[in-house]
Structure 1
Amino acid sequence: MRRAIALGEKAALIDSSGGPFGCVVVKDGAVVGEGTNRVVAENDPTWHGEMAAIRTAAKNLGTFHLAGCTLYTTGEPCPMCAAAIFWARIERIVYASTIADAMRFGGFDDHAIYGELSKPVNERSIPATMCLHEEMLHVWRRYEAKADKIRY
């Protein structure tokens, strides 16, 4: 966790690349991935510490399933990062501050996003319209039948 905090501190207070979010992924006692928040530096709203650490760990381990890994992060994961953690099959999360702390000290309002995601898609503040459904179902059916697909 101290390594994650050091990464977050550097990102926010020295590099000014984003908020104080650092993350380390550990497997069998060894660090397999690290990441920091670089949202501001990269103009990329998805460049959170957890996302970067997951990408690095997956690349280093040669798999997108990170079973047996623990993720250490400076902040309780936001909705995007929480979803990525589940998709990666990480088995444990350890965090040093809460979503409420991130709101209080940094103005990061994850509660609004959680609220939006809990609504049916047609009731969210960002309009979403489905189109070309049948065309896409044709692609899905072909994918379903693909013998060599890799499930994730």
Structure 2
Amino acid sequence: MEEVNVVQTKNGTVSVASAFAGHKEAIQQRDHKFLRIAVEEAYKGVDCEDGGPFGAIIVCNDEIVARCHNMVLRNTDPTAHAEVTVIRKACEKLNQIELSDCEIYASCEPCPMCFGAIHLSRVKRLVYGAKAEAAIAIGFDDFISDALRGTGFYQKAQLEIKRADGKEANIAEEVFERTKEKFRMY
């Protein structure tokens, strides 16, 4: 294999952006392998009537740590999306809340809630298959994204969102100041 993207730096060391021409191809094959497993989970969830056609896996050092599909109907839990559920399983299995050595493969582009969970878990890489539009096209709504943009379903639902003011807001903010020395998440 030939070297590509070799750069000479000021101090004379060589930085190689991509060591071999086949590197990108190998990564793509690896991604496809793991994405197929996430898609299998999506089918499994529908076949079991657990939830919608969404699957996800967590991978660490080329090993599958956890795999799951949408469990919204099975668990009667609107937050039991494949990505959130697989993150919970991986954290439990690894006994840690930070998954910075892990990657997540999702059958579909994550919704904002799932993306938030992915971000909070510190997963280093996300690979997804279908665009959100594929799910929307068969009846899954995009109301969370609409809510964040202030459009669509959010406006129709007339959900009121208000930040408390005055003393109540101050009391709520004091919790963070009073507990900052007692609690360290990361």
- Superimposed CA distance per residue, residues 91-122 of structure 1 (whole angstroms, 9 cap, x where no aligned partner): 111112110001112x1122x32232135xxx
Note if contact 1:35-1:51 (Cα within 8 Å) is conserved in structure 2.
no
TM-score by length of 2: 0.71
Residues in 2 aligned to 1:130 and 1:101: alpha-carbon distance in whole angstroms: 35
Question: 1:109 — aligned with what?
Answer: 141
More strand by share: 2
Task: After TM superposition, give the deviation of residue 136 of structure 1 in Å.
Answer: 1.6
Question: 1:118 — aligned with what?
Answer: 149
Task: After TM superposition, give the deviation of residue 140 of structure 1 in Å.
Answer: 2.1
Task: After TM superposition, give the deviation of residue 56 of structure 1 in Å.
Answer: 0.8
One of 62, 65, 68 as aligned partner of 1:29: 62
Check if 1:61 corresponds to 2:94: yes
TM-score by length of 1: 0.86
Task: After TM superposition, give the deviation of residue 49 of structure 1 in Å.
Answer: 0.5
Task: Kindly indicate whether structure 1 or structure 2 has the higher relative contact order, using CA contacts under 8 Å at least 6 residues apart.
Answer: 1
Question: 2:105 — aligned with what?
Answer: 72
Map 1:6-25 → 2, pairs under 5 A: 6-12=40-46, 14-25=47-58
Provide the alpha-carbon RMSD of the alignment.
1.8
One of 168, 171, 181 as aligned partner of 1:135: 171
- Superimposed CA distance per residue, residues 69-103 of structure 1 (whole angstroms, 9 cap, x where no aligned partner): 11111111011000110111111111121100011
In the alignment of these two chains, the number of paired residues is 144
Unaligned segments of structure 1, at least 5 residues: none
Check if 1:47 corresponds to 2:80: yes
Structure possessing the higher radius of gyration over alpha carbons: 2
Task: After TM superposition, give the deviation of residue 144 of structure 1 in Å.
Answer: 2.1
Note if contact 1:25-1:54 (Cα within 8 Å) is conserved in structure 2.
yes
Residues in 1 aligned to 2:174 and 2:118: alpha-carbon distance in whole angstroms: 30
Task: After TM superposition, give the deviation of residue 151 of structure 1 in Å.
Answer: 2.5
Residues in 1 aligned to 2:68 and 2:140: alpha-carbon distance in whole angstroms: 19
Residues in 2 aligned to 1:20 and 1:115: alpha-carbon distance in whole angstroms: 21
Identity, in percent, stands at: 33
Unaligned segments of structure 2, at least 5 residues: 1-34
